[in-house]
Structure 1
Amino acid sequence: MNVQNYNHHSRYVTGYHFVLSAFLIIGTICAFVNIWLQYAAHYDMLNSILIAVLFICGVMSFYYLRQFPISAQNRAIRAEESLRHFILTHKPFDSRITMQHIIALRFAPDDEFVVLADRAAKEGLSPDEIKKEIKNWRADNYRM
């Protein structure tokens, strides 16, 4: 795995993010085209509709298979980074710090973390700007 930094911190799994998503999109489009063709030819459409429903279920599963674990991961990140902030400053995060800020701040080492958190709250830095400001990237090597 590449050393994590601003340019190399996203992770894509080829089989999931590209191959499976392409199959689901192509299959869903073909299923709707098939419904249209069956309708235009006045054929029985039940099988075509069931296939389209299955592809819609596949697309929804594809989406939620990532959303549910990401929500749990975000809760863990919030807890970890809130504890780290409290240990370093003896106070909780500023109320202007959002979840997206906290996710970006997790890559900052302790000596940059507090300064960036304060700047994010006061100057309204975006998560992308926070990541760009980090000098010594703190890698997240435990993710799947």
Structure 2
Amino acid sequence: MQEQNFKNHAILVPGFHYIGMLSILALLGGSINYLCRATPENKYLAALLTLAAFIFAVLWIYIRTFPLKAQDRAIRAEENLR
């Protein structure tokens, strides 16, 4: 069996890594711009949109890191079994 390392297990999914990240950055930038330019009557909607953008950004990070940690644990358990 081939040794598992970053070079032979790395995969870049364009829809996730490029389009998704650009979408979140656009949402974050647009919501901050809307928050800065909003009238006092629209501040609630602008703040809600900004909060949603930050939540999506945090979720984006966790969606990527949690499976990697689980995979690392599984690989370590398999190595300890050998």
Q: Partner letter of residue 45 of structure 2? A: N
Q: 1:9 to 1:72 in 2, by over 3 A?
A: closer
* Alpha-carbon distance between aligned partners in 2 of 1:20 and 1:69, rounded to the nearest angstrom: 18
Q: Which has the larger radius of gyration?
A: 1
Equivalent of 2:55 in 46, 57, 78:
57
* Alpha-carbon distance between aligned partners in 2 of 1:29 and 1:44, rounded to the nearest angstrom: 17
Between Structure 1 and Structure 2, how many residues are aligned? Answer: 78
Match of 2:35 in 1: 35
Residue 83 of structure 1 deviates from its aligned partner by 2.4
Residue 6 of structure 1 deviates from its aligned partner by 7.4
Equivalent of 1:77 in 75, 78, 82:
75
Q: 1:7 to 1:76 in 2, by over 3 A?
A: closer
Query: Matched residue of 1:44: which SS?
Result: helix
Percent identity (aligned): 27
* Alpha-carbon distance between aligned partners in 2 of 1:44 and 1:53, rounded to the nearest angstrom: 14
Q: Partner letter of residue 36 of structure 1? A: C
Let me know the Cα RMSD of the aligned residues.
2.0
Q: 1:6 to 1:55 in 2, by over 3 A?
A: closer
* Alpha-carbon distance between aligned partners in 2 of 1:49 and 1:7, rounded to the nearest angstrom: 42
Match of 1:26 in 2: 26
Equivalence map 1:1-144=2 (5 Å): 9-38=9-38, 41-84=39-82
Query: Matched residue of 1:11: which SS?
Result: coil
**TM-score, normalised with respect to structure 2:** 0.81
Q: 1:6 to 1:42 in 2, by over 3 A?
A: closer
Residue 44 of structure 1 deviates from its aligned partner by 2.8
* Alpha-carbon distance between aligned partners in 1 of 2:78 and 2:7, rounded to the nearest angstrom: 24
Residue 23 of structure 1 deviates from its aligned partner by 0.4
